[in-house]
Every structure is written in structure tokens, then in C-alpha cells.
A and B are shown apart, each in its own frame.
Chain A
Amino acid sequence: MQNTPNTPLFEAVADATCRALQEAEVHLPADVLRALQRAEEREPNPVARSELRNILRNVELAEELRLPLCQDTGVPVLYVSLPPDVPLSERLYAALAEGVRRATERVPLRPNVVDPLTRENRGDNTGPGMPSVHLRPGERFAITALPKGAGSENVSRIGMLLPSEREEIERFVVETVLRAGGRPCPPLVLGVGIGGTFDGSAALAKEALLSPIDTMTGLERRLCEAVNALGIGPMGLGGETTALAVKVRQADCHTASLPVAVNVQCWACRRATVEVRR
């Protein structure tokens, strides 16, 4: 496998992965930028407003200078939409990893990925299980990068609630934010996964971060209001903007289960999708 020459498909996948990561690291998606601008206009607390202004100015500067908008460039999480004519193979995973290596060099990304126990850093943001790859069938061949920083990932939580505790979902979400305080760099975007299995709910929570944040369903809005009632504000300095949005994804589950996962995301809700050029 090591000696296999890189096929045009391998090159195309590696290139698209690298571009998706670059795009995600440097530009904040338009919906997230709009949500921050709206928050800055509405925020009555002067300290919170000045924090939001710093964030908006930082986003502009990152774009102008083509630099990552936060020094924690995260770990690479990739969502790949795979059309029927592309074979699912080890080479595909190798090409995605190659794209991560190139992005680490070119963007540049901070080498964040280490062995979990020895803490050894290979220096290129790849290793067993990294990048984290999620595949799904699709018409387009596209790669979405969602680089995930540690500050917000570390305060994310999963709970196995009882089926009778549907009302407890809001409490679980609010409690997660309360425990986190200013540590995950609010204003936050919360991805909430409801249902599925233990592992599936966490995947749903992260996938929820892929949807645009400038619209919310009734449930999402209720959860967002409950979180903002805490007054933690940007960076934990107080204010009305603790969360920019809450996004929910759900799946059916066992009749005896109610898994709920909250994936916490900092203000830098980075994601970008790039089509593979074949």
C-alpha cells in the first residue's frame, strides 16, 4: 500500500481535504458571522459588547491576513459525502490523512494530535483514528471540515436519561453550560443529539453543529433562551449572549433509553465544505 503511486483520485481527495481545512480555519461561515453581528447589535452589556467587537475585528483580520482565526486550530473532523461510483477503501482514508498533513504544513495548523497515553506528538495531526472521518452516501463527492478545539470539546457531555425524563433535557443542557462557565470561550453554539445509541447521540450532537445557526426550531429556541438566561455572557464576563444558537439532531432509540449529548462549540464555529475535483 505504501508504494502504491498516488492516483488522480487520491490527489483530488487530499487536495479537497486540505482546502476544506484551510477554508474552515481562516473564514468564519456567513451564518455564524451574522449571528455574532446580530448579538453585538442587541447586547446591552457594555463589557459583553466590547468582547463581541473584539471577536468581529479578529475575524476580519484573520481573513485579511489569511491566518487561522484562533491559535487552537483544533483536531480534524471530516464529513465525507461519497457518491456511488467512488470505492470505499483504505486508500480513501489515506488520502484524507494526506490532506490533513498538507493542511498542517500549509495553513499552518498547530500540531494538536497526540497519542492519548504517551502524549507523543507525531507533528502532523494524523494518527490512529485521526482524522475523525464520518462517511455517508451522497450524490456530490464533497468533504466538510469541522476542526474542533479542545476548550469547548472538553466541557461537552453525554447523559443516559430515563425515557420518562424528557423534561430533563433542558436541565441537562443548561447544567452543561453552567458547569463550563467561561472556559469554552462563549458565545457558544451548542450541538445537541437526542436519541440513537450511547455513541450515536454524541455523533448527532457534533453533526448538529454542521447546520446553519441563523434559524432555530421551537425546541432549539427554547433551549437557547434557557441558556442565555444564565447571563454568563461572552468569555464568562457577563451579558445576554451566552449562546448564539442551539442546534438539535435526533434519532430513534430503544424504548428503555433516552441518550442526550451536548457538544459544546466556542464562538469560532468553523466549518467548510469543498467539492472533490475529479
Chain B
Amino acid sequence: MRELTTPLGDEVLDLRAGDRITLSGIVYTARDEAHRRMLERGIPFDPRGAAVYHCGPLVRDGRVLAAGPTTSARMNAFTAFLLDRGVRALIGKGGMGGEVVEHLRGRGVYLAFTGGCAVLAASRMALEGVYWEDLGMAEAIWILRLDRLPLVVGIDARGTDLFASVMERARGCARL
């Protein structure tokens, strides 16, 4: 199992859809509202080599208590600008649209974390700070330090989308 640490570089280009990895280092949470504001006002963190986690964590007394992934496809339409600025990894659940697969080509990867595993995720994280807390707990950009979060490469930088190929096979073998 490959162990990766942010900031990420060209090593992400070698990853293949279906690879299991662990990720350490800083990640930034962002959901719908944070994406919208980053488009308007710019990205508040250094996007080069960064990883963006689609997650609205439960934070209490400076600690992350629950931080499961949210459905990444909601962010399909506002992801390209992050990759254009150098973001190397998107983390979430459920996969992303065909346009994102193309934007990732030659640049970055989509990493899947297990849906609902909010406590497991939180146990591998420490809270480092926050941007735009006025957006509310779920929508703010939280700065989290990961300690070997286990992830699966869902979409690689060669355009292979594990979610799409699984669904294509499923449609093919449905006894309908």
C-alpha cells in the first residue's frame, strides 16, 4: 500500500484506479458553499499540490468528532478551477462526473473514502485551523492534518474511472 503525504507532486500520476493508499499531511474540507466562494474570492490556501476533501465535519471544542465524506458529484461543476490552480487530489465518496475525469487527466486523482465512516475518519485527523467559519460548520473550509487515512483511488490521472467501469459492468450483467 502506497503512503502519500501532501503537498502532492507527480507521484499521483503513477496511481491506478483501484489502488489502495494512505494519505497523510494537510487537507482542506470544501463543500458547495466553499467552492462557490472560492470561485468568487479566490482560494484561501496554497492550492499547489493540495488535497481537497468533500466533507462537512462535526467539530466541537477544537476537535473533529465526525468527518465522513459527502457526495462528491455535487461539486462536479465547480472543480475545474481547483485543478487549474494545482490541486492534485480530490477526496470524497461516490465518484465524479465525466468532465472531472477529463480535468484530472495528467494532473491529479480522485480518492474515495468509505461513506458513513465518520468516526474512523475523525480518528485519523487533527484540526489545524479554519477559513470562512461564517459559512457554518458544514460549509467552512477546515484545515485538517491526516495521519494515514486509508483511501482507494477512484479516478486516476489516465482517465480510468473505477465507479464508471463498475456501473458499466453492472448494467451489462443485470438480468433485466
Q: Are B115 and A235 in contact (CB under 8 A)?
A: yes
Please tell me which one of the listed residues A58, A72, A170, A229 contacts residue B120 in the complex, with CB atoms under 8 A apart: A58
Cβ-defined partner of A236 (8 Å) among B57, B65, B163, B171: B163
Asked if A259 is at the interface of the complex by the 8 Å CB criterion, the answer is: no
Q: Which of A50-78 contact B (CB under 8 A)?
A: 50-51, 54-55, 57-58, 61-62, 65, 67-72
CB-based contact A236/B167 at 8 Å: yes
Contact of B114 among A51, A68, A230 (CB under 8 A): A51
Interface residues of A in 255-278 (CB under 8 A from B): 266-268
Does B68 lie at the interface of the complex (its beta carbon under 8 Å from any beta carbon of A)? yes
B58 sits at the interface (CB 8 A): yes
Question: A181's closest neighbor in chain B, by CB?
Answer: B167
- Give residues of chain B (112-142) contacting chain A, Cβ–Cβ below 8 Å: 112-120, 123
- Chain A residues, Cβ within 8 Å of B25: none
- The interface residues of chain A lying within 8 Å CB-to-CB of B173 are 229-231
Q: Which residues of B contact A (CB under 8 A)?
A: 18, 20, 56-58, 65-68, 71, 93-95, 112-120, 123, 150, 152, 154, 162-163, 166-167, 169-171, 173-176
A residues near B169, Cβ cutoff 8 Å: 231, 238
Instruction: State which of B20, B58, B118 has its C-beta within 8 Å of the C-beta of A69.
Output: B118
Contact yes or no, A237 B117, CB < 8 A: no
Interface residues on A, range: 35 or more
Residue in B closest to A239 when the chains form the complex, CB atoms:
B166
Q: In the complex, which residues 136-188 of chain A have their Cβ closer than 8 Å to any Cβ of chain B?
A: 151, 170-171, 174-175, 178, 181-183, 185
Chain A residues, CB < 8 A from B175: 170, 174, 226, 229
Q: A55-B116, A183-B94, A235-B112 are in contact. List 12 more A-B contacts (CB 8 A).
A: A47-B18, A58-B119, A70-B68, A181-B167, A185-B115, A229-B174, A230-B170, A232-B167, A234-B114, A235-B114, A237-B112, A266-B115
